[in-house]
Structures are given as C-alpha cells and as structure tokens.
Amino acid sequence: MFGFEEVAGMSVVEEKRGGFLTEVLQALITAGILAFIIRTFLITPFYIPSRSMEPTLYPGDRILVNRLAYRFGEPQRGDVLVFRYPLDPSRDYIKRVIAVGGDTIEARQNRIYVNGQALEESYVPPGVVYNDFGPIKVPPNTYFMMGDNRNISADSRVWGPLERKLIIGKAVFIFWPLNRLGFIK
C-alpha cells in the first residue's frame, strides 16, 4: 500500500540504505584514486612564489601543469616548464625554454640570440637589463631556461642547461586569481 515490499525477510528500503552507504564509500574511494592518478600523472596544480616570470606569471598565481605534455614530444622554444631545480631537486622551479639541445645561445646588448638569430620576446617586460653572456652551445637532451623577468631570475645563466630528466611538465593554465584566468602563452 505504501510501496514497501518484503524480499526474503528484508524490506526494500533497508536494502537500499545498505546499498547507499556502500555506493557512497565506493564513490569516495574511486574519487580518491582518480584524484591521485590525475594529480600524479596528468595535471598538477602549482603555486607561483616569485616575480621571476613577470609579466607572464605573478606571485600568488596558481597554475595547472600538464605532466603528459612531453611523454611523446620534446619541449619547444617558448614553452614554460615546471621542473626540479638542478641545484636542489627537492624544490620546483618555473622558467621558459629559450634554447634546446644543439642550439647556440648568447646575449648581447639586452637581446638573446639563438643560432645567430635575435629572438622576438614579447613576454620580456620593458626596461629589463641583463649582462651579456655566451656564446654557449646547449648540450643534447638539455634546455637553456630563463625567467621572463631577467633582472631577478636565477636561471640557466646561473646553474647551466636543464637536464630532460628534471622536467615535471608544461605550464598551461592560470586558474587563480580569477581575474587572470586563462591559458599561459
């Protein structure tokens, strides 16, 4: 009369209650496993603590890093990477790829030259002044990394080319603060 049925001595309502708790527990376990897999192997959030990548990234920005970006390909000039700091692999750093293995890089009069060609670097803030260096031949399977805010960036000019094995992934998206929401160029 009220929609309750007896099934083998147990009402359908009681059976669903036990099923509900089991479903919630299964959903929580599944969500936890998926979150672990996504964060460990696919996409990881990172926090930007310094000004070395201004104006592309600012202190306090929170970004998403694609960990799969280089499983099947190589970083390209201009990509922004998160990697383990070569002098202390327990710390993560973020910088831009300026030159790849086999390239020759040098700086003259506040311009970067790769293989003799001046780079067009719209991401470098105006008024940046830095010392000349090079030419430096970038070894195979390494990358010459520089911060966009060259005046205050500790980068490959300090610790040398970055080894491929230290790369965590490609910085792809700013998700916080909301007024900066968007893809990283």
Q: What are the residue numbers of the active site?
A: 52, 95
Whole-number Å distance between alpha carbons of 7 and 15: 9
Longest dimension (CA), the chain: 89
Are the C-beta atoms of residues 106 and 113 closer than 8 Å to each other? yes
| Type and span of the H or E element at 157 | helix 156-159
Are the C-beta atoms of residues 167 and 117 closer than 8 Å to each other? no
Cβ-count burial 61-93 (b if 16+ within 10 Å, e if not): bebbbbbebbeeeebeeebbbbbbebeeeeebb
Q: Where do the DSSP E strands lie in the chain?
A: 6-7, 10-11, 43-47, 62-66, 80-84, 92-100, 104-108, 111-114, 117-118, 133-137, 142-146, 162-163, 167-176, 182-183
